[in-house]
Amino acid sequence: MLLSYTGGKTGNQYTFAVGYFPWDGEDVLVSSSANWPKTLGNARDVRLLVKGQQFTAKPTVIKDAQQKADILAEFVRRNGAQAAKGLMLGLSGDRQPDRQQLLAAGAKTTFVCFALEPEAETP
């Protein structure tokens, strides 16, 4: 997925590739230990290119420890422990994590859920 946005404070334009997971309906989920997700709450003109289709997107930055643990638990339920291990947050790939493990893993990342809206086509 290609993420493009204008920084809320700097006004600089950013574009870079990020991994994502389909989430609920027209939403995608991104997990990153970098700093950029924390600033998306103030970003403007957020756009995503997913599988060749352009979207405008409304990002929701998830920083709360309990919410991040809940998302990780749901991620494991949907995708399995092996997929959760692939997030590289210290989760084991051979068993379901307990709440403490989910909290510890969540402390290493920030989640962003993007609500997608197809961009209007120009005639």
pLDDT beneath 70, residues of the chain: 120-123
Q: Residue 65 phi/psi, 5° resolution?
A: -60, -45
d(CA 20, CA 30): 5
For residue 28, list its beta bridge partners.
22, 114
**Does CATH place domain 2-118 in 2.30.30?**
no
Query: Residue 12: its pLDDT value, please?
Result: 95
Residue boundaries of the structural domains of the chain: 2-118
CA pair distance 62, 60, nearest whole angstrom: 6
Q: In what order do the strands lie in the sheet containing 27-32? A: 13-17, 2-6, 44-50, 53-62, 110-118, 27-32, 21-22
What integer best gives the mean pLDDT of the chain? Answer: 92
